[in-house]
């Protein structure tokens, strides 16, 4: 006995969808055809000790809203993904420290850009964040 035509059509559509998904995965790309990238970093003090809870702001016209924010973990590490290839500016703030910056960080397609940012302690007479 033959299956109804509607069931065969759904199975074919499902098969084509799975084949397309596996094809993209085999090529290592996303639906846009570009491999995703990330920004991985560490925030430390002058002695190299990790700084947890630092606020990391990333700015670039390649970000959907022009800016993204994250914070460091207990080891002073942060991770921002996915991002597009391009140039990024990073600003790091933590109470008791001077603001840290990294300009023109190059993020390449399909790669993780690595960055370490050192923050200096504020002097007793310095105010601000």
What SS3 class is residue 86?
strand
Residue with the larger pLDDT of the pair 80 and 24: 80
28 pLDDT above the threshold of 50: no
**What pLDDT shows up at residue 128?**
57
Backbone angles phi, psi at 23, to 5 degrees: -65, -45
User: What is the per-residue pLDDT for 115?
Assistant: 97
> What pLDDT is stored for residue 36 in this prediction?
85
Between 123 and 113, residue with greater pLDDT: 113
Residue recorded with tokens 């140039």: 87
pTM here is 0.69
Residue-level pLDDT at 16: 43
Whether domain 37-118 has CATH 3.40.630.10: no
Tell me 115's DSSP state: E
Cβ(70)–Cβ(79) below 8 Å: yes
- Cβ neighbours of 51 (radius 10 Å): 20
Place of tokens 């499902």: 14
Compute φ and ψ for 22, nearest 5 degrees: -65, -35
What average pLDDT does this structure show over 1-11? 48
Single out the residue of 93, 103, 87, 91 nearest to residue 37, CA to CA: 87
105, pLDDT greater than 90: yes
Secondary structure tally for the chain: helices H, strands E: 1, 7
Lowest mean pLDDT among 3-12, 66-75, 120-129: 3-12
pLDDT value at position 108? 95
For residues 97 and 124, the model is more confident at 97
Q: What is the pLDDT of residue 127?
A: 62
Domain assignments of the chain as residue spans, ordered by start: 1-33, 37-118
Is the pLDDT assigned to residue 60 strictly greater than 80? yes
């Amino acid at each position: 006995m033959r299956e109804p035509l509607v069931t065969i059509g759904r199975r074919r559509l499902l098969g084509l969808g799975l084949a397309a998904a596996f094809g993209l995965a085999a090529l290592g790309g996303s639906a846009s055809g570009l491999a995703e990238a990330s920004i991985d970093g560490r925030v430390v003090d002058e002695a190299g000790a990790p700084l947890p809870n630092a606020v990391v702001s990333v700015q670039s016209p390649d970000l959907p809203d022009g800016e993204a924010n994250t914070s460091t973990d207990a080891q002073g590490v942060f991770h921002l993904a996915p991002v597009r290839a391009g140039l990024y500016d990073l600003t790091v703030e933590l109470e008791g420290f001077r603001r840290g910056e990294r300009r023109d960080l190059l993020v390449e397609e399909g790669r993780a850009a690595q960055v370490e940012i050192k923050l200096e302690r504020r002097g007793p007479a310095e105010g601000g964040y």
